[in-house]
Structure formats: structure tokens, C-alpha cells
């Protein structure tokens, strides 16, 4: 893993984190959280993306060996967050969660 992906992971995670916060705020403001799993999926995605942001930021500040390990974990956590958003989107699209 010769290229440094941490800045890309950090910026993309931060953008998706902001989108998740907008979704959460909108759901709460419109009182759509009762009987809905959408907010739980959004909170799970927030946790994944926040963790990914923190790990990628720390990996940019550490020595090479630790940096590569942190970057790999941040990459995995980021992918997990994407999967959570994908599943939530599919469930919403097929009206399986309300």
C-alpha cells in the first residue's frame, strides 16, 4: 500500500458524515422518527463515518507503520459506513422501513 489514502478517506467520510447529520436533523425536525428505523441507520452511519474520520486523521499524523495500519482500519470502517447507507437506501426505496 504505497499510496496515501488517508486524506481521501478523511474528506469523503466528513462529507458523508455531514449528509447523515442533515438526514438526522430533518427526521427529528419533521417528527418522522416514531416507528422508523431510518434514524437508527443514520446514527449507525454517523458512528462509522466519525470513526473513519478520526482514524484517518490520526494516521496522517503518525509514523509509517502505524499510519498504514490505521489507514487500513479507517478504510474498512468507511466501507462499513457505506454498506449501512446502501442497505438503508435499498430498504427505503422498497418501502421496507417506514
32: Cβ–Cβ under 8 A, 6 or more apart, which residues?
26, 38
Per the model's pLDDT, the better-predicted residue between 52 and 63 turns out to be: 52
Domain span at residue 60?
Answer: 16-93
Average pLDDT over residues 20-45: 82
Q: Across residues 60-64, what is the average pLDDT? A: 87
Q: Is 5 a member of any domain?
A: no
pLDDT value at 36 more than 60 = yes
The mean per-residue pLDDT over the stretch 66-90 comes to 92
- Separation between Cα atoms, residue 40 and residue 33, nearest integer Å: 9
- pTM for the complete prediction? 0.85
Name the residue with cell 489514502: 5
Domain annotation covers residue 70: yes
pLDDT confidence of residue 1: 47
Q: What is the mean pLDDT of residues 73-87?
A: 94
Q: Which of 91, 86, 68 is nearest to 6 (CA)?
A: 68
Give the total number of structural domains in the chain: 1
- Residues 6+ away with beta carbon under 8 Å from 98: 35, 36
Amino acid at each position: 500500500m504505497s499510496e496515501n489514502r488517508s486524506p481521501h478517506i478523511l474528506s469523503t467520510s466528513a462529507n458523508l458524515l455531514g449528509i447523515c447529520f442533515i438526514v438526522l436533523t430533518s427526521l427529528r425536525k419533521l417528527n418522522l422518527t416514531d416507528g422508523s428505523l431510518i434514524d437508527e441507520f443514520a446514527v449507525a452511519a454517523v458512528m462509522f463515518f466519525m470513526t473513519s474520520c478520526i482514524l484517518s486523521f490520526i494516521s496522517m499524523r503518525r509514523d509509517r507503520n502505524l499510519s498504514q495500519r490505521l489507514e487500513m482500519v479507517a478504510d474498512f470502517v468507511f466501507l462499513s459506513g457505506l454498506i449501512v447507507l446502501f442497505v438503508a437506501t435499498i430498504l427505503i426505496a422498497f418501502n421496507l422501513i417506514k
